Amino acid sequence: MEEIANFILRAAKLIKNEEVNKALELLIEAYENNKKILVVGAGRSGLVGKAFAMRLMHLGFNVYVLGETITPSVRSGDILVAISGSGSTELILTAARIAKNVGARVIALTSYPDSPLGRLADHVVRIPGRTKIAEERDYFARQILGIHEPLAPLGTLFENTAMAFLDGMISELMKILGKSEDDLRRRHANVELP
């Protein structure tokens, strides 16, 4: 836990304020104009996206998770928030291309701004994090070369950092929009399955 927490603290210092502010601007513009926000990610990044979408809903945003049965079509002026550590997950790229083709704007959260997703996006927030594959695959070669991989496997550091970042975005949106925890609680589910 300490290794992961320390990584997130170091990553927080590397995330650029101007990237954060532009993402907030785009989300607030969508909120004020009642545009849809669609969130997409694959695997654990998708779960992080769902958590973010839930909090946006609590704030009163018109938000959906791509792939759910109740998700409407994306239109011009809508926002697609695409989460991919590598920036090269084909499913996410396909969603981003389609969104761009109909005039939606794409906000990418990725560790690689120069990735296919980063190049396609209207705006990129670089979220530091190790993504799935180590550069040197052979364990003994890594030891000989002195390459130490973090203990957290695969994309864990990106996913945890993205989750903390997006929760921070929610806190900032609460301040900007003048929303209280009571406002969020009123939109929170009151019928939940065990």
Q: Kindly list the catalytic residues.
A: 159
In the chain, the N- to C-terminal Cα span, in Å, equals 28
Closest C-alpha to 9, from 165, 142, 141: 165
Q: What is the CA radius of gyration of the chain?
A: 17
Sign, Cα dihedral of 19, 187, 33, 82: positive
The H or E element spanning position 80 is: strand 79-83
CA 54 to chain centre: 13
Given the structure tokens 């609590």, which residue do they identify? 58
112-151 burial code (b ≥16 CB/10 A, e <16) = beebbbbebbbbbbbbbbbbeeeeeeeeeeeeeeeeeeee
**What is the C-alpha to C-alpha distance for residues 23 and 123, in angstroms, rounded to an integer?**
7
The H or E element spanning position 126 is: strand 123-126
